[in-house]
Structure 1
């Protein structure tokens, strides 16, 4: 007679509560609600770039997947000279959401996420996404 071997697996939603908060994944969406980024850190806790307040994502220390599409290279004039940015945009609405300094994805030390371009709540824009512009009156 053959030997019968059985095994069982117990699953519970309690395991989700036991996971360490630092090891959880964070999901971010474009302003149009398109899924764009999953990362192992909260973007609000990452350092920011002084020149444009973009979130600095280390390509060495962080694990992430950015589903934005590569866009054109843009040359910006900065106070200290020029800066070349290889930009990424949302595949759904074409909003620019991130950039790198190197042409190939994740080949440089950092990826920069533009301030206010992503939200962690689908269908809801972050407070810094929309800036009120005060109209100026011109004197003729």
Structure 2
């Protein structure tokens, strides 16, 4: 009878370490519809934000990330300083715009911007800044105005 030899390799993410011996951690984010959208090597809450629209700034040279979004339309916005061209990315499931870049090709520019409130860490739960309370206008108050 022939001898059967087998081997197995166990891989774990806790074996990967940073140069300062701290374990690497990946952060996973979901669209508001619960679709997987982003995995990144940093906590989005710790990243800088844009002053114009409070979008989260992800450096394409300093960060390692994977954005699973589909390229959408190009939008031209008027800002105080002039005009801004945004190449938007949307959720493949619900079509919600979740990010944008200033260049047409993905990661070809310096930064990728994630819209404020578009992603959540907890699948199926919207972040607090995703919902804006709107005060309903009654018919009587609109008639007086």
TM score, norm. by length of structure 2:
0.82
Matched, 1:20 2:3: no
Alpha-carbon distance between aligned partners in 2 of 1:10 and 1:135, rounded to the nearest angstrom: 57
Alpha-carbon distance between aligned partners in 1 of 2:133 and 2:79, rounded to the nearest angstrom: 24
Which sections of structure 1, spanning at least 5 residues, go unmatched? none
1:9-56 deviation digits (Å, cap 9, x = unpaired)? 67899x58x9835x2000000000000100000000000000000000
Check 1:134–1:65 CA distance in 2 against 1; reply closer, same or farther (3 A cut). Answer: same
Deviation at 1:80, TM superposition (A): 1.1
Check 1:9–1:48 CA distance in 2 against 1; reply closer, same or farther (3 A cut). Answer: same
Alpha-carbon distance between aligned partners in 2 of 1:63 and 1:44, rounded to the nearest angstrom: 16
Off by >4 Å, runs of 4+ in structure 1: 5-13
Alpha-carbon distance between aligned partners in 2 of 1:7 and 1:71, rounded to the nearest angstrom: 47
Aligned-residue CA RMSD (Å): 2.5
Which residue of 2 is the match for residue 72 of structure 1?
73
Which sections of structure 2, spanning at least 5 residues, go unmatched? none
Alpha-carbon distance between aligned partners in 2 of 1:10 and 1:99, rounded to the nearest angstrom: 38
Matched, 1:44 2:45: yes
The secondary structure found in structure 2 opposite 1:128 is helix
TM score, norm. by length of structure 1:
0.85
